[in-house]
Amino acid sequence: MSLLIVGTTALDSIKTPNSENPRLLGGSASHAAVAASFFSQVSLLGVVGDDFPEEYIELYKKHQIDLSGLEKAAGNTFHWEGEYEVNMNNRRTLETDLGVIEDWMPNVTSPLNEKAYILLANCAPQLQHHVLKQMKQPKFVVADTMDLWLNIARHELEQLLKDVDCLVLNDSEARQFTEEDNVVIAAQSLHKYGPKYVIVKKGEHGAILSGPSGLFIAPAFPLDSVIDPTGAGDSFVGGLVGYLASHDGDIDDNLRQAIIHGTVTASFCCEGFGLASTTITTRECINKRVEALSQLVAF
């Protein structure tokens, strides 16, 4: 079925101890859309500046991403500059330039406002809600978020959560949101804000789903080399929603497999800078890794 993804389309400059990679294609919607494209036809809602390289448009097109909702505005594309330590779990933001996304509040017209699956990839809750309110009859709405919005837009995030089916966030964010140290309790207590499903991401430790059928403890795909984890969480949720949108039937029946396919798609993201590794993988490679993961956890 049809999938709309809204979020940031950005240029990321990423430093690691060994490498500098300026102005790579990044942003929550970019990572999520490419990840979802392995499973489903994706429509991307976003905005870029007049500095946005044509080669990145070509990259979207390579993945058959519908760009009718990608606006080009006068100004700079959202730019994020970050640096990772040797321990890739630690990173710091060196600079953020919001550029053209700062005041962007799009009109969502037909046929984009008729999509059944909606991924509100990580961006300002006001923007996520603005888009969601324009959708005609969404079947399933997933929202990703981050600590920044808990700090500066908690009220707006809480308003949004009343209207979403599934919330995705990190374990530290779940703890911060709920002031609950136990991550199982934190996940469960987030339902009271609205979402029927809550997925807590734990990075290399996998993810936890809390839903009507109880908990699902999902492993991450173990990697022996992490080059750049930027966008892994976005790839996870993109793969997840892409998988759901391509499988008929009850969400409850499909969500575990969707999470596993999301985690495997995210594992490819970590193996290269920006989208370099994700964009050269295939559905067949993803399926093989899902099968391998299934063997790795069997008992």
Binding-site ranges for its own copies (CB under 8 A) = 86-88, 181-185, 188, 202, 204-206, 208, 214-219, 222-226, 256-257, 259-260, 293-294, 296-299
Q: CB-wise, 56 or 221, nearer to its own copies?
A: 221
> What's the closest the beta carbon of residue 223 comes to its own copies, in angstroms?
7
Q: CB-wise, 11 or 258, nearer to its own copies?
A: 258
CA distances to 76, 129, 197, 233 from 168, in Å: 29, 15, 9, 9
Beta bridge partners of 120: 6, 143
Residue burial 13-35, b: 16+ Cβ < 10 Å; e: rest: bbbbeeeebebbbbbbbbbbbbb
Going by C-alpha positions, the residue among 49, 89, 39 that lies closest to residue 73 is 49
> What's the closest the beta carbon of residue 184 comes to its own copies, in angstroms?
5
> What's the closest the beta carbon of residue 117 comes to its own copies, in angstroms?
20
> What's the closest the beta carbon of residue 227 comes to its own copies, in angstroms?
11
> What's the closest the beta carbon of residue 205 comes to its own copies, in angstroms?
4
Q: CB-wise, 3 or 209, nearer to its own copies?
A: 209
Q: CB-wise, 26 or 206, nearer to its own copies?
A: 206
Q: CB-wise, 148 or 297, nearer to its own copies?
A: 297
Q: Which two tokens stand for residue 128?
A: 């996520």
Q: CB-wise, 205 or 288, nearer to its own copies?
A: 205
> What's the closest the beta carbon of residue 31 comes to its own copies, in angstroms?
22
> What's the closest the beta carbon of residue 186 comes to its own copies, in angstroms?
10
> What's the closest the beta carbon of residue 242 comes to its own copies, in angstroms?
17
Q: CB-wise, 159 or 257, nearer to its own copies?
A: 257
Between strands 197-201 and 166-170, the pairing is parallel
Q: CB-wise, 61 or 288, nearer to its own copies?
A: 288
